[in-house]
Structure 1
Amino acid sequence: MTIRWRLREIMARQRMTNKRLADLMGVHPNAISRIKNQDTLPQIGGETLNTLCKFLECTPSDLIEYVPDKAIDEEP
């Protein structure tokens, strides 16, 4: 199973830049870049997740996608 992190997609859809989101959240743009460029769920706290959802007007389920392993879904 893979938990896919979709922050990059959400930001692109909203045309939100790293700098703009960083300014809204009160963090350095490099911090946004680090978590945005990960494909799997980064280790972030609830407060950070809450703040991302607030400024991107989304829910945690918009940012996180479960992708099941194909091997598990296939019958032998």
Structure 2
Amino acid sequence: MDRKVIRWKLNELMAQKRIRNKDLATVLGISENSVYRLRRTDEMPRLSPDRLNGICEALVCQPGDLLSWEPDEPPNKNNKSDTPKSSRSDSDLSPNTPKDSGNTKAEAQKAA
């Protein structure tokens, strides 16, 4: 099943801010065709931190403004299988820690 839950919104943001492909290409130092491809994809493209920074500077936006999360279907709150289960108990999380038997120090010395 192909799940695309994170959407790339460069096209929407550029339209809102009335920025043309040519303008963004000039700022980023890339071709207009490259900007066109970045705009036309619905999936988050692989971007270097410098390229993402350049886009954010040109659009005066935060990286999160370029993304939206849209789940395929809302989670079913009544379905317990949606909740991850762990086979470990809390005691497994503390390695090498003896369990407290409730005995006092004096009782422990008597037992020894």
**Shared fold, TM over 0.5:** yes
Cross-structure match for 2:71: 68
State which structure, 1 or 2, has the greater radius of gyration over its C-alpha atoms. Answer: 2
8 Å contact from structure 2 (residues 8, 42) kept in 1: yes
How far is 1:67 from its partner?
1.2
Please list every run of at least 4 consecutive aligned residues from structure 1 whose deviation after the TM superposition is greater than 2 angstroms.
none
How far is 1:13 from its partner?
0.2
How far is 1:35 from its partner?
0.9
Higher RCO (CA-CA < 8 Å; seq separation 6+): 1
How far is 1:43 from its partner?
1.2
Count of paired positions:
75
8 Å contact from structure 2 (residues 14, 20) kept in 1: yes
Q: Which runs of 5+ in 1 are unaligned?
A: none
How far is 1:39 from its partner?
0.5
Q: RMSD of aligned C-alpha atoms?
A: 1.4
Decide which structure has greater strand share. 1
Cross-structure match for 1:15: 18
1:1-76 matches, cutoff 5 A: 2-70=5-73, 73-74=75-76, 75=78
6-15 or 20-29, which moves further after superposition? 20-29
The sequence identity of aligned pairs, in percent, is 36
Alignment TM-score, normalising by the size of structure 1: 0.89
Paired residue secondary structure (1:73):
coil
